[in-house]
Amino acid sequence: MSEQQDNLHAMRHSLAHIMATAITRLWPEVKLGIGPVVENGFYYDIDLGDTTISEDDFERIESEMKKVIEEKQEFVESEKAIDEAIDWAKQASQPYKEELLNDLKRAGTTVAGDLDASELGTITSGDSAVESVSFYANGDFTDLCRGPHVESTNKVGAFKLMRIAGAYWRGSEKNAQMQRLYGVAFSTPKELRQHLEMLEEAKKRDHRKLGQELDLFVISDLVGPGLPLFTPRGTVLRNELIKFSEELQRAGGYEAVWAPHMTRTELYKVSGHFDKYPERFDVSSVESSDTFMMKPMNCPHVAQIYASRPRSYRDLPLRYMETTTMYRDEKSGELHGLSRVRSLTQDDSHAFVRHDQIADEMRSIIGMVKDMYAVLDLPLSVDLSFRDDSDNYFGDPKVWAEAQKVIEEVAKEEELDYRIEPGEAAFYGPKIDIIVTDALGRKWQCATVQLDFIQPERFELEYIGEDGEAKRPAMVHKAILGSIERFLSVYIEHTGGKFPVWLAPEQIRIITVNQEEETLKFASDVQREATELGLRVTVDNANESVGKKIRNAELYKVPYTIVLGEKEIESGVVMPRIRKDIEVESQHEAHNVSEFLKTIVNETKSRTLKSSL
């Protein structure tokens, strides 16, 4: 972390204390949980018993916080012996702090997750237990805290309270539910303003809103939550993306296969998924009966295609792809537009490879991923999800170590911007998770490449080696777009609905000036010509003003609009209206109709037109 980041961190953390100070002044009976720094800001968990705070109280809290800031209270660190600290917590009636301290005393740590860890008192000696912990005080307010803080309450930059959420004490639903107050904070008012503007922009681009406005998908109560239906426009997006992905895969030697969407549950018992994630299988809403279920993933099915006949080392790699829909019983609270659904379609593939072919296959896949996201104008970075020392993983640790080495080498060779994330691996093997950064700077995981030694083992997959001995292949799972639904949610927000020409559901809209026979005929001639060139074109000959029809085309963010009337019929020349983000030599040049259509075709075919946002 740079010095600047350290300072921002201290500011945010100090603001959490200042908020707690303000809340303690306004509600002296408050029981405080923890108050860590999070991305872009901070929060504090509070428990007010029967009272609940609402966002209407933010004004009061913020103005109290401003008072604390103006008082320029110094942050003073002190140490207390652990028992003394526990007494303090008792006297201050802070049961949550007391619990943390007791855990510290007993275990030297608390069992809670990462966020809590930064909140714990400093361990000054010994491994197994703690002798003393650190406190920070500002004015009358003292809190168990490891720090660091800024020197005084007036050095905290700009902040704003954002929202209230329910949160369980230490993240467990067995515990008391507290209220979590979130704030954002930045070093300068300007950065805060930029952040708030970004949130405004994100709201405007919300894919659920754009999905409705641009008529891309719908969710019907009768069909059910998490089961989106795609309209013709949305389906064009889906199909074009899938087509591109499959072209990349075909070039990499992948052949299409097909599997039904239902299976005997037994398949997942053999694969090991059922025992590993029982809670994901025991819910009837995606199950058809005790013995059959909707498929929640694809790999075990494809493994059966491999297993259907004897394989030779000469056959490998065998590369199968299938863009297919799977069904997962996501909990209702987890569903969100297209980004979290119950029916998700993956551009899935599985390669069965010899161990000496793993690196090449990984390299080839990384190439596809790079090509895809270059065209989609989404910069990418990579998380190498490796195992940790826990026993959550199947298989031989030695094989894992070897595979992880190969993966890291490939990441280096391909010059990927990568981070290693221990403990993030799937239970059957290490993964490469590809993270894209959208136009608003938000990060999303999309593509994933996963190495799997376990399913070949579970399904007893074999090939006959050069020496005549049966050998076990490895499986390489991959999805370039990941879930198409989820990718669309990211991409709709990335582009704000201004899709590049090759993807645009409607590439050209022809607007007629009037309803005269001659005009209508000319419009339909141009439409036919464009359609024959493979373009997606519609004619708006509604009995409306030209201005109105232009406006409608704009609202649908159609890349090219041409108005046809008497002038165009006579001259054969059009003055296209081109969506502003599209780079062209001149926005206002007149074109011969046929020439113009051919230019669009070229742009479409190259798939390289970037939407500059």
Partner RNA sequence: GCCAUCUUAGCUCAGGGGUAGAGCACUUCCAUGGUAAGGAAGGGGUCUCGGGUUCAAAUCCCGAAGAUGGCUCCA
Is 477 among the catalytic positions? yes
Q: Does the annotation mark 346 as catalytic?
A: yes
DSSP β-bridge partners for residue 562: 510
281 lines the binding site for RNA (CB under 7 A): yes
Is residue 350 part of the annotated active site? The answer reads yes
Tell which residue, 35, 6, 8, 5, has the closest CA to residue 141.
35
Per-residue contact flags (x/-) with RNA for residues 291 to 320, judged by CB under 7 A: -----xx-----------------------
Question: Rounded distance, CA 17 to CA 148, Å?
Answer: 11
Residue 545 engages RNA in binding (rule: CB under 7 A): yes
* Range in contact with RNA (rule: CB under 7 A) among 157-165, 184-192, 239-247, 310-318: 157-165
Q: How many residues bind RNA (CB under 7 A)?
A: 65
Among 555, 587, 595, 608, binds RNA (CB under 7 A): 555
Catalytic residue among 45, 329, 347, 348: 348
State which of residues 358, 369, 513, 537 lies at the interface with RNA (CB under 7 A). 513
Q: Does 331 bind RNA (CB under 7 A)?
A: yes
Options 179, 249, 346, 450, the catalytic residue: 346
Q: Note whether 159 and 192 are within 8 A (CB).
A: yes
Q: 451 CB contacts (<8 Å, ≥6 apart)?
A: 358, 362, 403, 407, 429, 430, 431, 474, 475, 476, 477
Choose, from 342, 431, 549, 579, the residue flagged as catalytic: 431
Binding mask 205-234 for RNA (x = CB under 7 A): ---x---x------x-x---xx--------
Q: Return the residue of 551, 583, 605, 608 that touches RNA, per CB under 7 A.
A: 551
**Of 56, 398, 547, 602, which lies in the binding site for RNA, with binding defined by CB under 7 A?**
547
Rule CB under 7 A: which of 437-496 touch RNA? Answer: 450
Is 348 labeled as catalytic in the residue annotation?
yes
Cβ proximity to RNA: between 133 and 449 the closer is 449
**346 touching RNA, by CB under 7 A:** no
Stretches 86-94, 346-354, 369-377, 566-574: which one binds RNA (CB under 7 A)? 566-574
Sequential DSSP letters for 451-499: EESHHHHHTT--EE-TTS-EEPPEEEEEEEEEEHHHHHHHHHHHHTT--
HSE (CB half, 13 Å, CA atoms) of 455?
30
What b-and-e string marks burial along 188-220, b requiring 16 or more CB atoms within 10 Å of the CB?
eeebbeebeeeeeeeeebebbebbeebebbebe
Cα 299 to Cα 230, 250, 322: the distances in Å are 26, 19, 10
Token pair in block for residue 253: 């030697």
Q: Which residues contact 454 (CB under 8 A, 6 or more apart)?
A: 272, 394, 395, 427, 428, 429
Interaction of residue 337 with RNA, rule CB under 7 A: yes
CB 130 within 8 A of CB 124: yes
Dig out the tokens for 235 from the structure. Answer: 């389906």
Side chain identity, residue 165: A
- Kindly tell me which of 311 and 340 has the beta carbon lying closer to RNA: 340
CA torsion 294-299-304-310 (nearest 10°) is 180
> Amino acid identity of 44?
Y
Catalytic residue list contains 328:
yes
Rounded to a whole number of angstroms, the minimum distance from the CB of residue 123 to RNA is: 23
Q: Catalytic site residue 127?
A: no
Binding site for RNA (CB under 7 A): 52, 54, 113, 163-168, 171, 173, 177, 180, 208, 212, 219, 221, 225-226, 273, 277, 280-281, 296-297, 328-337, 340, 426-428, 450, 513-516, 543-548, 550-551, 554-555, 561-568, 574-575, 577
List active site positions. Answer: 299, 328, 346, 348, 350, 431, 477
